[in-house]
Structure 1
């Protein structure tokens, strides 16, 4: 007679018992999480790690994307990039874009979410819909709309300025002003999505806590800064990162449509300059070097966020 029988009545032989014990052993339990992560790791390797490694590789060569020969130049592309007189201007424009995008797409949605949740009682649905509406419109269409609105000769802004005896500035050729206008165009498109996410986070703050603070006579600005922002910070940190990463990608469209990085690199940034170096000047090595520096800038920003912001995040809501 067999020594043991399984649930179906079949004999459980030595091989079956060994396999069962092997599948249930501590080694398989340690390997299972890595096996579950393997599909995601493969996708990241194909679509992120390989392109990153290839970009680092291309940054060490002089190549115009046409010639079959790539000339190895080592770190010369990085040296030429850092010694370029326009590099500091492009880097400064990038940091200014980040500051403006955070103001328009992070601070402003927080303020509007607080007002619509705890201050305004009527017309909330209308305001929510109106603020979210631009996010469903194409950024190309929105850029063309702003070009018409801010036309310094025949646009509505010029006509309003003429009523007060003023002239509308030619913003697309004005240093400094062009960055502000392009940031507004991009933020107009992104604001609705960031606003809805922030509104959900602010709406998760306990109403009893806010009402108790108002009964104690605490002003609204202190309630906003000391109660609402800390208690919705888990959502806020997501919107913060999204505003930087997605904003610098979205801002490429109005730059490419309106200014092409001008005047005199006055509206260019690191991401647009990667495209400019690669597809306008055919300097693939320099474009790759700019891409690596841009990635390093993102890493620095994330490290600063993890060190100074992430530790104070409130996740309970």
Structure 2
């Protein structure tokens, strides 16, 4: 009986200690999410004292708008570019620096991680100056070879590529350090045994390193999609504001644009709800299918 009462006492103490965290989650996560879903069924401009109930009209309007599909297409392109630059390339860099190189490892790690501590606003301004099509350093160099610098901020494909590069410059170092730490934890005995058997470095990477660091790889995959799309909001806001003709906008910026520029709160809330459903499906897919093949040490 004493043991049972002790367990009950400990459980209640644990619940009491969780109360501040639960309150914070309710105030800053669950309540805003619930209120966003509520607003998605109303027509409101954030100024009028009344809200007009329109049912699912906001969802119909959003999903039938060609601009929405253009923004979703842009978002898909952003995701692909961010995954290549911030997942595939850091994986290779971390492997080469940890396994292949013998010297200057600390220098390379510090150099690659340094941009992640720089503000995205500063990065956006810096890249805007460097890539200025008239007076930027790159434009001046290209002029020496009679090569014109495209006005990338006014071209759909170029704008997405440059904005993705700015975001990647910020995110790359953080992802690299996490992957480096994961690869560094792979057993050296297994790698050395593979080398003694004559296994080439590329095969060691694909057959040993990636499977044994897959837990971190999946984590980087998820946060690159989620946080990458949030980080790209800043350079879009600072440089292009979604132009030309929504050609550089993504779903995160479009949600902001609908609410705080066009004051169509219902449309913005409907888009946010659809995007949240996408993230939920992504997590379900990750836990249902991907986690089965992930290697966890011990």
Same fold per superposition (TM over 0.5) = yes
Q: 1:36 offset after TM fit, Å?
A: 5.5
Aligned match of 1:296: 277
The reply to whether residue 249 of structure 1 matches residue 230 of structure 2 is yes
2:72 aligned to which of 68, 91, 99: 91
Q: 1:216 offset after TM fit, Å?
A: 1.8
Q: 1:22 offset after TM fit, Å?
A: 9.9
- Alpha-carbon RMSD across the aligned residues, in angstroms, is 2.0
Residues 223-234 of structure 1 mapped to structure 2, 5 A cutoff? 223-234=204-215
Unaligned runs of at least 5 residues, structure 1: 1-19
CA distance in 2, matches of 1:73, 1:98: 33
CA distance in 2, matches of 1:36, 1:282: 41
The reply to whether residue 187 of structure 1 matches residue 181 of structure 2 is no
Q: TM-score, length-normalised on structure 1?
A: 0.88
Q: 1:163 offset after TM fit, Å?
A: 2.8
- Measured against aligned partners, the alpha-carbon deviations of 1:228-265 in whole angstroms (never above 9, x if no partner) come to 01111122222222211111111100000111001111
2:110 aligned to which of 129, 133, 143: 129
Q: 1:165 offset after TM fit, Å?
A: 2.4
CA distance in 1, matches of 2:66, 2:102: 54
The reply to whether residue 57 of structure 1 matches residue 38 of structure 2 is yes
- Measured against aligned partners, the alpha-carbon deviations of 1:165-192 in whole angstroms (never above 9, x if no partner) come to 2111111111112111101100101111
- Measured against aligned partners, the alpha-carbon deviations of 1:65-122 in whole angstroms (never above 9, x if no partner) come to 1110111111111111011111111111111111111111111111110000011111
Aligned match of 1:79: 60
Bigger relative contact order, structure 1 or 2 (CA pairs below 8 A, ≥6 apart): 2
SS in structure 1 opposite 2:66? coil
**How many aligned positions are there?**
298
- Structure exhibiting the larger radius of gyration computed from Cα positions: 1
Aligned match of 1:207: 188
CA distance in 1, matches of 2:179, 2:3: 49
Q: Out of 24-33 and 42-51, give the one that drifted further.
A: 24-33
Q: TM-score, length-normalised on structure 2?
A: 0.94
Q: Is the 8 A contact 1:81 1:286 kept in 2?
A: yes
